[in-house]
Structure 1
């Protein structure tokens, strides 16, 4: 039985010697020898039958492949179609086709004879068309998940700007379609796509245009999909090697990246990563390779030629042809670029293909032995077309323990070892396993990689950066560039109040209301809860001022009580003075309601207590001013104003004016009262705990009413400013109201423009300033006389002051009696 096996391709140019380039393929021939020897030694598989083979060269040429196929069919000599001069009748199957193109050329011819062809090249969906190729069988595992493994590797190293190089055939188009879709799912962009021509003519025409476009591109990572033959153009590039070294090449198992021409060094693809089929070692195969020598197989002319080329034997005509230099050398001593002691994917598939034919022959012989006698040897000899019935259903376990199917529908999905090609000094190179990709395994075991074991380049051995745009760090977001792929972008800082905590964030997100962005805008910080705290310096200062002014007012009240029977105290209406001083004490103390953590109670009391006590204070001042005017106008004979001069007149003024304010506050509290709230937005990075006024209209109505009373008091006091000084407070009241109105006129715009603690501080300061203004303008001059100038606080001094000034009280002495004074007092 013979098997057609492609071994050595024709040299790419005349400068190359025979076998100089692809003598690594000789392992495939040795795998045939090893499998056939193993089968012939098996007493059970094909007993009493010798298994044999023929080797033919395909040369990676459609013409040569067709010629070799016709030569095998016709026999040695002149090629005559449909006529055989050889021993083809003893051959039952052809094992061949390292590429889809070669398999098609062979299959087109072999299908005419219903001759089974087993392809050991990469799985191609085109070859699975049983209408076009009914007798062609593919042994290779399906690479349906290869594109996923490549993208997983790219994503692992955070590359997103990758070039794609594929063979210009249907297999390349299918891979290109699949990997593009997978890259799009994972946010990886294609920087360029190049298709390698597969014909010899276009191969040579592309040397000056094809490779420069690939190598000179800025892309640092290039994925290559194709076989060793279609990617031969990469070996002939005229681009300087130093430029190629800066690239990271990701190749598939069907391209032997270790092969290189003799005039190139191994630095070219140093650091490349390749996806090789993950398979077990065939027991005894490596031992068999170590024992192979020309002396062991003296009739093998291919081995002799291989030995001459691999060990670089000198051409010396004086040596006999049979003598080979280093006849006892071992294949193990050859560098990786010349020979690999580890079984390749092609050799593994060829080994399984030969066993598949052997198992089919076993089944055929077993069936025939049951039907006829063993003596009919001629009838027992199977015909090639008979194998087709059994081949599609054959399955077995090889010596490595793997289950093998010839049926493409049952064929398993390929598993991959990720290998790193490393070139060491002294021309030593090696493929180092750095990871694996095993589809359809439990989660977490599909993809594994050992990054520390990878050698990248000769300089710093760092993972290359293959990105179109540098990553946007935390605090920034990606801004797409018009007309550019998604991987090309600008980085824009997040807007106010937003953060991005991840690298290459598409969008920034807002912080929760209780948090705010830090300066880098990469994380949210908890906002500080702030209010006018009693423990902080500002709160302590305001509290001290409040207590001090309250005590000072109480002291003034004590002085007035102590000197209540003196003329000055009597002349200034003791009841209204006491009422005003007490209300001022409460005005000062109500400032404490604004200090500390706001609560429902303090928010209800803050504005209402402040409004009522201030209204009482202003009403008291208004009553004092009205009484003075009424007293002076009522002393004229026949004046009707006398009827309004009544001891309780001042009380009525205070009660009526204050009662109106109480009504306003009651309506405010009954409809939309103040309440505590957390202001998240007024002050950056802070949560302001403050009292919301509730009804803003009610708040300004209360303030407006106080302003109206203050303005009325100011006008009345201003009109009474020219009355006699002894009994006249109008000048002091006028000045105090001027201070009061100025403070609160300034308060309104300042309050509206303030935020947080500043707003509360402004209101407290306004309360303290206006109250202190009333206290100082109205009572401090009187206390000065009472305490420091007691001689001026006598009846005689007052009368002297009246007479010397010639005022109205010098006329009508009877009205200046004690009764008159009491009337003014009361």
Structure 2
């Protein structure tokens, strides 16, 4: 690839005709615009009376093959001014060298710069900014016109995020620029959660061959990504680009920089794969007169421009004539460069041509400042520019001016300017059009989130895409699912896993599911939290209604039994079984049956405290009454020859003291419970899906089980005493009934404990209510119903003579009557 080297010098006005020699053995058309911008800037400066008055700029153009030998040879030609290269010699006496402009490849600038640095010749590069060239130790005489791409990597990644492209391939040069670019891109991509599908590094050497192009092209096609970034397109990528253009069958979206001009660098027959490419170009203001210059740039005005003659011959059917083949005849009338096809020559000033234009002005302004300085020192001189090249350096370092477009120009490499970028879209329809259309801008100075301004509807995508291209490693996880990373793969490659119970994801591609608050639950799709319904064992609930009816029914039945006992209080069977204790037990059972009403309905602090304490005290009274009755029966039937003490106990009814004593113990236990860890209102949000169950938390489970253990110990005592009197006379002996009632009590509460702990929510409350009703019903049914049966249906057995006959027949004395 040929690289331009522009040689610029100053001369007096009367010598101008000697300096218009243009040596162009064979420019590429892309480089040809550099020379047009170069000549345009020089002519514009020479016409300007405010810059270098009485002095004109001359120039020479060189094309340099990209090899060390040609680079050094052409540099020596430039320095000596002869067709041979002689170190440390120059024949340029009158027209002094002002500066040397070097082209787009940094290798060319490096090789030339090392030589020019020895002679302190000013060198200005108009190619992309390169950190290597900023080394003032190696290249103290080199200056860069282009701004450093401080935010281009960020802009490219923002573009990827805008289109949701998270799976992108990178093709870079394998040099220091490529390494720095890769580092910047990875940092930006990681920050924005964009993954690298592959990285292909193009060898930066002459040994790069078609084999590497085929291998890299195969890797690109094999990748699942639809977006590939060609970041720093240099001559080493040219073979790959040609190979892609000829052999690509899979369409990709290519993102490039403006330094690679696909409209002119690639033959027309291979450009279709790059249709729809997105190009980042540094924004610059238009130089209005440049198009006018192109319109008037013709062979008749610039006969020395051999390339211009070739263009006229090819596109306008002109024929060469004359001994030097520069005179053209039979040309199309009114022919101009503007009439060339778009794919032949870019009419608008490109980014690099803009840098060429600014470079010439940098040299001109520096020469102007140096001339003014000389005039101040030698006010009586003849006005000629009589300087050495190295004298220009102080002025180049401090240059500071606005160009014809109003943009500020400086050459300070330490000054970091964030350039704005135009985003161009390559159109190739109709075939061969190759038009770059501006579809957006990227401004790093804009507020966050507004840096990218894009007209999506204007973008033409590659032929293979009928809609916005997708480039992802894994398809998006819809709401209700979360991303599950695939082991050993990039973060953008994942599986979609449904959210766990009561967790949701309401956005696409969420990394983690979000748990619903306790007051809400996840819907079936697990993409939204719904408000839970507050519930409890209410009066309207069928289960609560059934338990209420049972409680009221049993309490009414107990009241009826009490009424029967009161009505027949004079009968032997009521008297024989200690009617006072029977009344106490029946009244207590009525309250025991009504106790479950505290467990039903909306819990509050009062009911939560009363539930367990009321249940414990009432059942203690009931059991202590049963125990007193049992002891009375045993004393009555077991003592055949009662002594004075036993008779006093029976007459004074001392066993009845068991009731207050046992009740007091239970009250102490309940008092400790309520003072240390009392029951409180609690909610259960997990037992029933979609419901929050309001329940009473028992507080201290140890206290609750201690109360139950105390009740069971009293029942065990009653059962033991009743068991001792199992063989006593049956007529008025209720020991067997008490034993059976205690067995029922044990069965209920032993069953209650495991079932209670295995249930949750309302069922736990219902289970305790049912146990209270069942154990209370056991006491009522086993102890009192047989007596009611005798009182109401067997009255002949409820007479004193029958009682005595039964007693004498068994040889026992009835002391309870």
Q: TM-score, normalised by structure 1?
A: 0.85
Provide the C-alpha distance between the structure 1 equivalents of 2:381 and 2:80, rounded to a whole number of angstroms. 31
Q: CA deviation at 1:85?
A: 6.3
Give the alignment partner of residue 289 of structure 2, picking from 266, 284, 290.
284
The answer to whether the aligner puts 1:584 opposite 2:583 as a matched pair is: no
Q: CA deviation at 1:786?
A: 4.9
Closer/same/farther in 2, CA of residues 294 and 648 from structure 1, 3 Å limit: same
**1:459-608 pair list within 5 angstroms:** 459-471=464-476, 480-490=485-495, 529-608=534-613
Provide the C-alpha distance between the structure 2 equivalents of 1:93 and 1:765, rounded to a whole number of angstroms. 106
Spell out, residue by residue over 1:629-671, the C-alpha distance to the aligned partner (whole angstroms, 9 max, x if none): 4444567798985444226345334334434433433343444
8 Å CA contact retained: 2:7, 2:78:
no
Closer/same/farther in 2, CA of residues 568 and 376 from structure 1, 3 Å limit: same
Spell out, residue by residue over 1:659-713, the C-alpha distance to the aligned partner (whole angstroms, 9 max, x if none): 4433433343444443444456666665554334344333223222222232333
Paired residue secondary structure (2:30) = helix
8 Å CA contact retained: 2:731, 2:806:
no
Aligned Cα RMSD in Å?
3.9
Q: CA deviation at 1:589?
A: 1.2
The answer to whether the aligner puts 1:409 opposite 2:411 as a matched pair is: no
Spell out, residue by residue over 1:156-213, the C-alpha distance to the aligned partner (whole angstroms, 9 max, x if none): 4444433322223333333233333333444444333333234444255633434333
Provide the C-alpha distance between the structure 1 equivalents of 2:673 and 2:7, rounded to a whole number of angstroms. 109
Closer/same/farther in 2, CA of residues 388 and 784 from structure 1, 3 Å limit: same
Paired residue secondary structure (1:424) = coil
Closer/same/farther in 2, CA of residues 324 and 315 from structure 1, 3 Å limit: closer
- In structure 1, the residue matched to 2:308 is 303
- In structure 2, the residue matched to 1:40 is 46
8 Å CA contact retained: 1:308, 1:324:
no
Q: TM-score, normalised by structure 2?
A: 0.86
Unaligned ranges ≥5, structure 2: 1-5, 10-19
Spell out, residue by residue over 1:115-167, the C-alpha distance to the aligned partner (whole angstroms, 9 max, x if none): 32221111112222333333222111112332232233334444443332222
Paired residue secondary structure (2:249) = helix
The answer to whether the aligner puts 1:140 opposite 2:150 as a matched pair is: no
Provide the C-alpha distance between the structure 1 equivalents of 2:631 and 2:524, rounded to a whole number of angstroms. 61
- In structure 2, the residue matched to 1:356 is 362
Give the alignment partner of residue 277 of structure 2, picking from 248, 272, 275.
272
Give the alignment partner of residue 209 of structure 1, picking from 215, 223, 231.
215
Provide the C-alpha distance between the structure 2 equivalents of 1:358 and 1:567, rounded to a whole number of angstroms. 139
Paired residue secondary structure (2:711) = helix
8 Å CA contact retained: 1:164, 1:190:
yes
Closer/same/farther in 2, CA of residues 62 and 328 from structure 1, 3 Å limit: farther
Paired residue secondary structure (2:95) = helix
- 634-643 or 409-418, which moves further after superposition? 634-643
- In structure 2, the residue matched to 1:345 is 351
Provide the C-alpha distance between the structure 2 equivalents of 1:489 and 1:163, rounded to a whole number of angstroms. 18
Q: CA deviation at 1:613?
A: 1.3
Closer/same/farther in 2, CA of residues 517 and 240 from structure 1, 3 Å limit: farther
The answer to whether the aligner puts 1:742 opposite 2:747 as a matched pair is: yes
- In structure 1, the residue matched to 2:806 is 807
8 Å CA contact retained: 1:633, 1:639:
no
Closer/same/farther in 2, CA of residues 669 and 342 from structure 1, 3 Å limit: same
The answer to whether the aligner puts 1:170 opposite 2:176 as a matched pair is: yes
- 750-759 or 730-739, which moves further after superposition? 730-739
Q: CA deviation at 1:63?
A: 3.8
Give the alignment partner of residue 793 of structure 1, picking from 792, 795, 808.
795
Provide the C-alpha distance between the structure 2 equivalents of 1:143 and 1:210, rounded to a whole number of angstroms. 26
Q: CA deviation at 1:810?
A: 5.7
- In structure 2, the residue matched to 1:336 is 342
Q: CA deviation at 1:585?
A: 0.7
8 Å CA contact retained: 1:165, 1:225:
yes
- In structure 2, the residue matched to 1:651 is 656
Paired residue secondary structure (2:332) = coil
8 Å CA contact retained: 2:244, 2:273:
no
Q: CA deviation at 1:280?
A: 0.7
Closer/same/farther in 2, CA of residues 731 and 109 from structure 1, 3 Å limit: closer
- 531-540 or 671-680, which moves further after superposition? 671-680
- In structure 2, the residue matched to 1:226 is 232
Provide the C-alpha distance between the structure 2 equivalents of 1:628 and 1:62, rounded to a whole number of angstroms. 127
Paired residue secondary structure (1:343) = coil
Closer/same/farther in 2, CA of residues 172 and 812 from structure 1, 3 Å limit: closer
Closer/same/farther in 2, CA of residues 313 and 244 from structure 1, 3 Å limit: farther
Closer/same/farther in 2, CA of residues 741 and 330 from structure 1, 3 Å limit: same
Closer/same/farther in 2, CA of residues 7 and 404 from structure 1, 3 Å limit: farther
Provide the C-alpha distance between the structure 2 equivalents of 1:767 and 1:30, rounded to a whole number of angstroms. 105
- In structure 2, the residue matched to 1:666 is 671
Paired residue secondary structure (1:251) = strand
8 Å CA contact retained: 1:675, 1:693:
yes
- In structure 2, the residue matched to 1:192 is 198
Q: CA deviation at 1:28?
A: 1.9
Provide the C-alpha distance between the structure 1 equivalents of 2:137 and 2:811, rounded to a whole number of angstroms. 142
Provide the C-alpha distance between the structure 2 equivalents of 1:146 and 1:215, rounded to a whole number of angstroms. 26
8 Å CA contact retained: 1:567, 1:793:
no
The answer to whether the aligner puts 1:697 opposite 2:696 as a matched pair is: no
- In structure 1, the residue matched to 2:3 is none
- In structure 2, the residue matched to 1:457 is 462
Closer/same/farther in 2, CA of residues 726 and 98 from structure 1, 3 Å limit: same
Provide the C-alpha distance between the structure 1 equivalents of 2:51 and 2:321, rounded to a whole number of angstroms. 47
Give the alignment partner of residue 758 of structure 1, picking from 760, 763, 781.
763
Closer/same/farther in 2, CA of residues 506 and 667 from structure 1, 3 Å limit: same
Unaligned ranges ≥5, structure 1: 11-17
Closer/same/farther in 2, CA of residues 701 and 391 from structure 1, 3 Å limit: closer
Give the alignment partner of residue 111 of structure 2, picking from 82, 105, 130.
105
Closer/same/farther in 2, CA of residues 800 and 453 from structure 1, 3 Å limit: farther
Spell out, residue by residue over 1:241-285, the C-alpha distance to the aligned partner (whole angstroms, 9 max, x if none): 44352x222212222233354362422112222210111111222
Provide the C-alpha distance between the structure 2 equivalents of 1:320 and 1:384, rounded to a whole number of angstroms. 35
- In structure 1, the residue matched to 2:435 is 430
Closer/same/farther in 2, CA of residues 307 and 105 from structure 1, 3 Å limit: farther
Provide the C-alpha distance between the structure 2 equivalents of 1:535 and 1:230, rounded to a whole number of angstroms. 84
8 Å CA contact retained: 2:428, 2:434:
yes
Spell out, residue by residue over 1:415-458, the C-alpha distance to the aligned partner (whole angstroms, 9 max, x if none): 22222223323432332333333334544443434444433333
- In structure 2, the residue matched to 1:52 is 58
Provide the C-alpha distance between the structure 1 equivalents of 2:624 and 2:117, rounded to a whole number of angstroms. 120
- 290-299 or 694-703, which moves further after superposition? 290-299
Q: How many residues are matched? A: 800
Paired residue secondary structure (2:417) = coil
8 Å CA contact retained: 1:188, 1:487:
yes
8 Å CA contact retained: 2:313, 2:320:
no
- 551-560 or 496-505, which moves further after superposition? 496-505
Closer/same/farther in 2, CA of residues 602 and 174 from structure 1, 3 Å limit: same
Closer/same/farther in 2, CA of residues 717 and 323 from structure 1, 3 Å limit: same
Paired residue secondary structure (1:3) = strand
8 Å CA contact retained: 1:356, 1:391:
yes
The answer to whether the aligner puts 1:125 opposite 2:131 as a matched pair is: yes
Paired residue secondary structure (1:264) = helix
Closer/same/farther in 2, CA of residues 621 and 141 from structure 1, 3 Å limit: same
**1:594-633 pair list within 5 angstroms:** 594-633=599-638
